Each structure stands twice: as structure tokens, then as C-alpha cells.
Chains A and B, each alone.
Chain A
Amino acid sequence: MSDVAERVKKIVVEHLGVEEDKVTENASFIDDLGADSLDTVELVMAFEEEFGIEIPDDAAEKILTVKDAISFITKAEG
């Protein structure tokens, strides 16, 4: 697993208080991990902080799963 994926999953586990094995790449924040709309805003802000990037609102709206987050951040970092 890439370093980005590792760090993304760690943030998700911490913020949503879910078991690590539930945080699969295809897991949806809202449908599978029990996040509400505020949680998703908090997650995006946590990603921004952790990776030192800016995630615009229109991009943030499309980050629905763990995989979405990892691929956006990988691209933004690259």
C-alpha cells in the first residue's frame, strides 16, 4: 500500500472512529463508514492539513470514497 493510502486511512480511522479493517479502498464515507456531511468537511480539511494541499469545493464534492481521496491526493501531490 502506498504511503498516501496509509495516511488517508489513518485519518479516516481517527476522524470517524471506525475499525481499521472497515476502511477499504471502496468504502464510501457516508454509506459505509457512517459519516455525515460535517464529517466529510472535516475529513477534507484534515486531508488538506496532512498533505499541505488545497482541495477546492467542486473537487471535494467528488471525494466520496477512500479511493477517491487517495487518487485526488496522489495527483495533487505528484
Chain B
Amino acid sequence: MFDLTDKCALVTGASGGIGSAIAKALAAMGAKVALSGTRREALDAVAAEIGAAHPGRACVVPANLSDPAATDRLAAEAEAALGRIDILVNNAGLTRDGLAMRMKDDDWQTVIDVNLTAAFRLTRAVMRGMMKRRFGRVIAISSVVGVTGNPGQANYAASKAGLIGMSKALAQELASRGITVNCVAPGMIETAMTGVLNEEQRQRMFASIPAGRFGSPEDVAAAVAFLAAEEAAYVTGQTIHVNGGMAMI
């Protein structure tokens, strides 16, 4: 239904479960996708998979987003590789969970730096080209806990709530230039991040999710694909919750 032929996208955290599903979905819709992340081999594997199905639609641009200089370099490298960036998916994220009483400064800062600050820096770097071309799609992967909170995740929840507030501000700044800025907020999704839960924890989570199961990375990718499409031009400053009904906001 949605067509992204000739569009160029940069996806951060593209070696992870959700990031790779997003990259594959955008490529399947016709976009050329630059895959970023810290794990070169894993990125190469995703790129090879995309390349096998859609030759020439994936390239790899590794970067460590905890390093501001590397973040700035990434925007330039991705633009050089693709020619331009029409779609930016700020998906990279990490957790350093712990109750606030025991949370180290470094655990707070690292999560804010990678999940929120890098997203801002990347968005700032690509918005100029988008403004000139009068088209852009900036999509941040937030989280249900950015809205509901979660004990042990003060840092992560703050970073994910920060993405929502930032996106609303940027949406207002950039709407007149044909650039939309939105968030997708996944709930419990089957990825490495939720893979650490044991069976008892999973069963307890299922009880609080009306859908009775965790979502798939593809469920999240579908929401991103919609927001990336031309057809979503009038949707901006919004958060699409993909959580099986776990929280209805």
C-alpha cells in the first residue's frame, strides 16, 4: 500500500530486533536504507539479508552514539552513502536498569546520551537537508514506559519521555517545511531487551496485556512504515502506541 521508492532512510540501532525489522520493512517498501549500530558484523548480516531480497537497498554505517563526534560523523557518512536522508529513525537505545537509590551517575548519563541526546544531534544534522527539500520523516522509537514509568528504569523512562517531548517541539518547528516528527512507543516486544525476563515474569506480564502476548518487532516496524509514508503527511507530533493494549493513552 505504501511506497517509499527513491526515499533514503537512516535507521539507528539497526542490528537489534526492532531496528532490523524497521530497516527490512522500509527496504521492502522501496527505500534505500543505511543501517547504523555498534556491532559491525550484525549490521552486515542484516544488510546482506536485505540485499538478497532487494539488491542495492542496504548499506552499513557503524557508529557509537555515546560519542557526540561519532554521532555527527554518522549523519555525514549516511548522507554521503545515500545521497540524502529523507527518513530518520532514531531507534538506538539501551538500558542500565536499577532502583534510583542505587543508580550510578554514569548509568543515568549513558542512557540519556544514547537514547535522547544522540537522537537530537542526528535529527539536527539531517533537518537542514529535509527543510531544503521540503520533505522529511523523523521517527523516534520511544517506549510505553516513557508514558507510564517503570520502577528500576528512571533513566530509561526519562529518555523515552524525553523523545516524546522533543518530537512534539520539533514537529511544531518543522511542520511548515513538510517534515513530520513522530514517535512509536512499543510495549513488550520479543527482543533481546525482553529476552532477559524469565518465564514467571513473562506470564505475569501477559496478564497485564489485553492481547495476552508480547508483540513482534514487525508490529513496531509496521507503525514506523506508516509514519514514513507520504500518506502520513498530516500526522505529526504524535505517538503511536504499539503495546497490545497494555496501556491505553
Q: Which residues of A contact B (CB under 8 A)?
A: 36, 38, 42, 45
Contact = CB atoms under 8 A, between A and B. Distances in A.
Interface residues of B, dominant DSSP: helix
Contacts of B131: 38, 42
A38 B172 CA distance: 11
Contacts of A42: 128, 131
Interface of B: 128, 131, 173-174, 176-177
In order of increasing CB-CB distance, the 3 nearest A-B pairs are: A42-B131, A36-B176, A38-B176
B173 to A, nearest CB: 7
A45 B176 contact: no
B126 to A, nearest CB: 14
B177 A38 contact: yes
B128 A45 contact: yes
Nearest to A36: B176
9 contacts: A36-B176, A38-B131, A38-B173, A38-B174, A38-B176, A38-B177, A42-B128, A42-B131, A45-B128
A45 B131 CA distance: 12
Nearest to B174: A38
A42 to B, nearest CB: 7
Nearest to B132: A42
A43 B173 CA distance: 16
Contacts of A45: 128
Nearest to B173: A38
